[in-house]
Chains A and B, each alone.
Chain A
Amino acid sequence: MLLLAIFLAALVVGVLPISGKLKVTATSSLNLLFSATGVAVALVGLVDTKQTHFVLRLGYQWLSLGISLTKLGALFLLLVSFVAATTSIYSISLPPTPAVTSSSLARSTFIFSMMGVVSASNALSFTFAWELMTISSAVLVASDVKKYPSSRSALLWYLTMSQMSAISLILGFSSISSTRSLGSSSLWTSFALSSNAPKSALGVGLLLFAFGIKVGLIPVHVWLPKAHPAAPAEISALMSGSMVAMGVYGMIITVTNFGGDRSIYWGEALIIVGAMTAIYSIIKAAIEDDLKVLLAQSTSENMGLIAVGVGTYICDIRLQDSFAANCALLAVILLTFAHAFFKQILFMAAGSIYSATKTKRINELGGLGSRMKFSTSTFSLGAIGAVGLPPSLTFVAEWLLLQTLSHSTAFNSKSSVAPKILFPLAIAAIALTTGIAVVTFTKIVGVGFLGLPRTSKAKSAVEVSRSTLIAPLVAATFIFAPAIAIGYVAREIDSVLHLNLSLSSQGNFTLSLPLFHASITPLAIAAIFICIGVVVGGITKATGRSKQALPAQYPWGCGQIAIDSTFQTSGSGFTEPILRIFDDVINPGRDVQVSHESESFYFAQRHLNVGSASTDLFEIRLLRPTISAIEKVANRARRIQGGSIHLYLIYAFIGLIVVISIASL
C-alpha cells in the first residue's frame, strides 16, 4: 500500500507542470524512496513466513487481479528495487535534459510495473504488469529520439518483438490454465493441475518463447542491441539490469511453478538456444565499436548463459536429479543478480564517459585512465564482474553452473544420450564465451582507458562530478560482497526457496556442494592474490629502494619512433583476429575507399577510408525474409478490402449462405 502511495506521488510529480531541474530531482528522489521501500518490502517478504494475498475483483470471477509476494518474487523484487534505487541516485546527480524531464512519468511507471510483475499472483495481473512494463520502457527508449535518430527504428523493432512476446504469453497462459481464463483468482499453483499433456507442453513452450524474446535469445534477440543502448545511460542500466531479469523471473516461474514434468520437452532446446545466443552475442560484442551497443550485446550473452542454466534445470528434473536441478536454479539466480549488478555499473560508467567525451565509439577513446580515474576504476570493477574473474559473484555463479553441468552426467547413470552430449557442449560454449568476454572487456579497458588519447575528444575529457560516482560504487560493492560471503548468501537463498542443497553446515565464506565433492572460497582466492601481491610488492620495494623507476620520454616501440596516437592498436584492430576467425558467423562487410591522385590512378591520396559494417546474421537471413513474407501476405489481404460496396455485399451474401448451410446441417 505504501508502495502504491509513493508511486502515485511520483506520478503526480511527473504530471505536474513544474520546471526542469526541480522536477527531475523530485521524481528521482521519489523513485529512490519508492525503490528503497521496495527493498524493504522485499526483505520483509523474504523473512516473513506467512504470505499476504490480495485479490482485486473487477466484477466477474474470471476478471480479478491477484497480488501476492512469493519468496522468489521477493528475491526478484529485491533485485528490481536495488537497481531502481541505484539508477535513481545516478539520475539525481545528472544535469537535467529535456528528454529526462519529459520521460519522468514513464520512469516511475517502469519501476512500478516491474514490481507488479514480480508480485503478480495470477496470469491476468502478470500480463497486465508485463504490458505496462513494455509500454513504459518503449516510451523511455523513444525519449531521446531527437538526439539519436536510430532509436526510432529501435523502437519499431522493440514494439514488434514485444507484441510477439505478449501474444505468445497470453496464448501460453491460456493453454496451460485449467479454467481457460487468465483472470481467475487462483494462484499460480492451479496451473499445475491441468493434465492435457501435449497442449500444456506447447503452452510452456510458448511462455518460454515469450520470455526468451524479453531476454534476447536467438533468433529473436535482434531488438535488444538496438533498443537497450538507445535510451539514456541510467535507463539502459535499468533495462539491462532489471527488465531482462523479469524475463528470467518469468522463465523460472514457468519451469518451477507450472512447468512441472510438462516442461521436459524444452530443456535441450533451451540449452542449445542459450549456448548459441551466448557465443553469437559475445562475438558480436567483441567486434562492436559502440560502447553501449557492446554492453547490450553482452547482456544478450549473459542471458544466453542463464538460459543454459534453466535448460539444465529442466533436464535435471527429468533425470530426477533434484540436487543438480536446484544447483542449476541457484546458479541462474546468482547469475541474474551478478549480471544486474555489473551491467548497471558498466552502463552508468559508459554514461559518464559519454558525457565527458561526447563519443560512444571505443576507437575514439584512449588514455582516459589518467584523466578519469574514478570512472575508469568503476568501469574496471564492472568489467571484472562481466568477465567473471574471482572473487566476483559472476565467477561463483559460473562456477556453480559449470559444476552442475559437469556432475549431472557423471552422477546419473540413467542420463540419456542427449545430456551426455549436450552438457559437455554447453561447458565448451561457456568456456568459449568467457574467453571471448575476456577479449571484449580487455579491449574496452585496454584501448579505451590505457595508452594515448586517440582523438581530441578523449584528450579533453574531464572527470564527471563526484556525486555521479556514488551509484556505480554502491553497485560495485554488491558484485563482490555476496561472492565473498557466498556461504551465507547461498544458505539464505537455499532456505528461502527450499532448494534442499544441504548447505547448512558450511561456513559463511565457502560454498560447498557435498554431493559434487566441490567447494569454493572466493575469499581464499582473493586472499592468496593479495598476499602474493603484497609479498612481491614488498620485495620490490625493499630491494629496489635505491633504484627508482626511470621515466622515459618515448616508449621504445621497436626503434624509438616519436609517439603518435594513431600507431596504437585501435579497438577494431584489437579484435580483428576474432573477426577473422569467426567471419562466417559475423558476416562482416568491408568497404575501402581510396581517393586517387588526379595525375595517375596508381597513386593514392593521403587518406584512405576504411569502413567495416557488421550485420546481424539472424536479422538478414531470418527476420527480414519473414517480415517481407508477412508484408506480401498483408498486401494480398488488403485486396479483400477493396473499398467497393459491391464487394462487401458479396461477402455478406456468401457469409449468410455459409451460416445458413452450417446451421441446417
Chain B
Amino acid sequence: MTLKIISSILQCVVVVALSPLQIGLIRATKARLEGRSGGRLLRPWREISKLMRKETIRYGVGSSIMAAASIVTLSSSLALALTVPSLLQNSIIRPDLFVIVSILTIGAISQGMVGLASGTSFGGMGSSRHLTLLALTEPTLLISIYALSIASHTTDLAKIIQLRALHPIEVVSPVGILVVASLVIAVLSETGRLPIDNPATHLELTMIHEAMTLESSGRDLAFQELASSIKLTVLTSLLANLLVPWPIEPSISLGIAPAIFALCLKIAVLSIALSVGETFLAKVRLFRVPELLAGSLAIAFIAVIVSGVTTI
C-alpha cells in the first residue's frame, strides 16, 4: 500500500512537472511553424509562478466559490495524474475507466462553477459550452475504451495497457486503430484543443475554456491553468501509452528512469503532432462540433462491434 502511494505520488510529480513544459513545446512548435519566434519552453512554468506571486482579486459575489472551485479543479486534475497509468501501473486506486471519467466530470463541473460564480456574461457562456461538450464527449470516451476492454475482460486501464504490451499485434489491429481515431477526437474535445476550442484565442464570442477563467486572477488562475495543462498531459500520455505500451513499470524500480524518458519522448512526439495539426486546422463552429463528436462515437461504436465479433 505504501509502495502504491509512493509510486502514485512520484508519477503525479513527474506528470505535473512535465505538463507546463508540454504546453510550452506546443506553443513553441506552433510559433516556429507560423514563422514567429515564440516563447521559451519554460515560459508556461514561469507564467504560473508569476501568477502565484501576484495578488488574487476576487469580486465579492461568489468569491468563496471561486476560491474553492479553483482548488477542486486542480484537485481533480491531480487525482487524474495520480490514477491514470502514465508512468507506473500501480496507483492508489484502480484506474477504472468509469472512475476516471467521473473524476474528469468533477473537474469540469468545478471549472463550470468558476465561470458562473461572479455573474458575468461571458463566464456563463463558457461554462454552458464547456459542459455541453463534456456531455457529448463522455459517450465517446466510454465506448472507445470499452472497445478495448472487450478483449482484455476488464475496464482497468492499467491492465488494458499491460495486455497491449504483451500482445503488440493488438495495437495495429483494426479495433486498436479505430479506437485511437475516436479517442483522439474525444481527447481534443476534453482538453479544449483545436478544432473544438482554440486555446490561443481571446475572442469573447468563440472561446470556451478561456471564457470561464476571465474573472480569475492570481492564484485562482494559476490553479486553473495548471489544472488544464495537467489534464492535457494525462490524456496525451494515456493516448501515447495505448499506442506505444512500453516501457511502463509495475512499480518503483530502477527501470523508472527509462520510463520517464520514454514518457517525455512520447508526449513530445504527440505534442508536436498536435501542434502541426493545429496549425493547419481552423476552429469548427460550435454547433458543428456535435457532428464531429457523433462521428467519433460512430467510429468507437464500429470498434466495439468489430471487437465483439472477433473476440470469442
Please give the residue numbers on chain A whose beta carbons come within 8 Å of chain B beta carbons, in ascending order. Answer: 366-367, 369-370, 387-390, 395, 398-399, 402-403, 406-407, 409-411, 413, 420-421, 424-425, 427-429, 431-432, 434-436, 438-439, 442, 445-447, 450-452, 516-521, 524-525, 528-529, 532-533, 536-537, 540, 543-544, 547, 549-558, 563, 565, 567-569, 573-578, 580-581
Residue B258, interface by CB 8 Å: no
A406 contacts across to B, CB distance below 8 A? 146, 149-150, 155
**How far is A554 from B119 in the complex, measured between Cα atoms in Å?**
11
Measured CB to CB, the residues of B under 8 A from A are: 52, 55-63, 65, 67, 71-72, 74-76, 78-79, 82-83, 92-94, 96, 98-99, 101-103, 105-106, 108-109, 112-113, 115-125, 127-129, 131-132, 134-139, 141-143, 146, 149-150, 153-156, 159, 204, 214-215, 218-219, 223, 286-287, 290, 297, 301, 304-305, 308-309, 311-312
Q: List 10 A-B contacts (CB under 8 A).
A: A435-B138, A446-B124, A450-B62, A518-B96, A528-B92, A532-B74, A552-B59, A563-B119, A575-B132, A580-B287
Interface centre among B72, B109, B297, by most chain A C-beta atoms within 10 angstroms, is B109
Given contacts A518-B96, A567-B120, A569-B124, contact A428 B139 (CB under 8 A): yes
Q: Which residue of B lies closest to A566 (CB)?
A: B121
In contact, B128 and A573 (Cβ under 8 angstroms): yes
Apart from A370-B61, A425-B301, A532-B74, what are 10 other A-B pairs with CB-CB below 8 Å? A406-B146, A435-B105, A446-B113, A528-B93, A533-B75, A536-B74, A549-B56, A555-B120, A567-B121, A573-B128
Q: Residue B139 contacts which of A411, A431, A528, A565 (CB distance < 8 angstroms)?
A: A431
B82 touches A528 (CB 8 A): yes
Given A395-B102, A450-B117, decide whether A554 and B59 contact each other with a Cβ distance below 8 A.
Answer: yes
* Docked complex Cα distance between A577 and B289 (Å): 11
Residues of B within 8 A of A421 (CB): 305, 308
Question: A517-B159, A557-B121 are contacts. A410–B150 as well, Cβ < 8 Å?
Answer: yes
Contact B75 A529, beta carbon cutoff 8 Å: yes
Q: Is B119 in contact with A450, judged by CB distance below 8 angstroms?
A: yes
Q: Report whether A551 and B117 are in contact in the complex, using a CB–CB cutoff of 8 Å.
A: no
Is the beta-carbon distance between B150 and A431 smaller than 8 angstroms? Answer: no
**Would you call A439 and B131 a contact (CB within 8 A)?**
yes
**Interface contact A420-B308, CB-CB below 8 Å:** yes
Once the chains are docked, how many angstroms separate the CA of A452 from the CA of B60? 11
Given contacts A403-B155, A409-B150, A544-B219, whether A434 and B59 have CB atoms under 8 Å apart is: no
Q: Which of B62, B115, B131 has the most CB of A within 10 A?
A: B131
Given A399-B99, A446-B113, A549-B67: A427 touches B119 (CB 8 Å cut-off): no
Q: What residues of B have a CB within 8 angstroms of the CB of A556 in the complex?
A: 59, 120, 214-215
Docked CA distance A447–B131 (Å): 14
Most-contacted residue by chain B among A450, A544, A547, A565 (CB, 10 A): A450
- Given A410-B149, A451-B118, A544-B56, the answer on whether A420 and B305 have CB atoms closer than 8 Å is yes
**A551 neighbours in B (Cβ, 8 Å):** 57-60, 63
Least Cβ–Cβ distance between B3 and chain A, in angstroms: 16
A411 and B119 contact, CB distance less than 8 A: no
Partner of A369, one of B62, B124, B155: B62
Of B120, B134, B143, B301, the residue contacting A435 (CB under 8 A) is B134
Inside 8 A of A451's CB, which chain B residues have their CB?
Answer: 61-62, 116-119, 124
Quick one: closest B residue to A563, CB to CB? B119
CB-nearest residue of chain B relative to A565? B119
Q: Which residues of B contact A547 (CB under 8 A)?
A: 55-56, 218
Rounded to whole angstroms, the CA-CA distance of A518 and B93 in the bound complex is 11
**Nearest residue in A to B93 (C-beta to C-beta)?**
A524
Residue of A nearest to B119 (CB): A451
Contacts of B311 in A (CB 8 A): 410
B79 touches A529 (CB 8 A): yes
Question: Are B128 and A428 touching (Cβ within 8 A)?
Answer: no
The smallest beta-carbon distance between B246 and chain A, in angstroms, is: 23
Q: Given A517-B153, A569-B124 in contact, is the A549-B82 Cβ separation under 8 Å?
A: no
Q: How far is the CB of B135 from chain A (nearest CB, A)?
A: 3
Most central of A390, A442, A525 by chain B CB within 10 Å? A442
* A367 CA to B59 CA, complexed, in Å: 13
Residues of A within 8 A of B139 (CB): 427-429, 431-432, 435
The smallest beta-carbon distance between A576 and chain B, in angstroms, is: 7
- With A438-B134, A525-B99, A569-B125 already in contact, the answer to whether A427 and B142 are too (CB < 8 A) is yes
Supposing A442-B112, A521-B93 touch, asked if A387 and B105 sit within 8 A by C-beta, the answer is yes
- Picked from B62, B124, B134, B153, the residue with its CB within 8 Å of the CB of A573 is B124
Bound form: Cα–Cα A550–B75 in Å: 23
A577 to B129, CA, bound (A): 7
Please determine whether A446 and B150 come into contact, CB atoms closer than 8 angstroms: no
Contact partner of B121 (CB less than 8 A), chosen from A436, A516, A554, A569, is A569
Asked if B98 contacts A557 (CB within 8 A), the reply is no
CB distance from A569 to the nearest CB of B (A): 3
Residues of A within 8 A of B309 (CB): 420
From B58, B101, B112, B214, contact of A558 by CB (8 A) = B214
Chain B residues, Cβ within 8 Å of A366:
119
With a cutoff of 8 Å between Cβ atoms, the chain A residues found around residue B137 in the complex are 435
Contact B143 A427 (CB under 8 A): yes
Decide: B138 and A432 in contact? CB cutoff 8 A. yes
Asked if B92 and A434 make an inter-chain contact with CB atoms under 8 angstroms apart, the answer reads: no
Also in contact, A450 and B65, with CB within 8 A (given A410-B149, A410-B153, A581-B132): yes
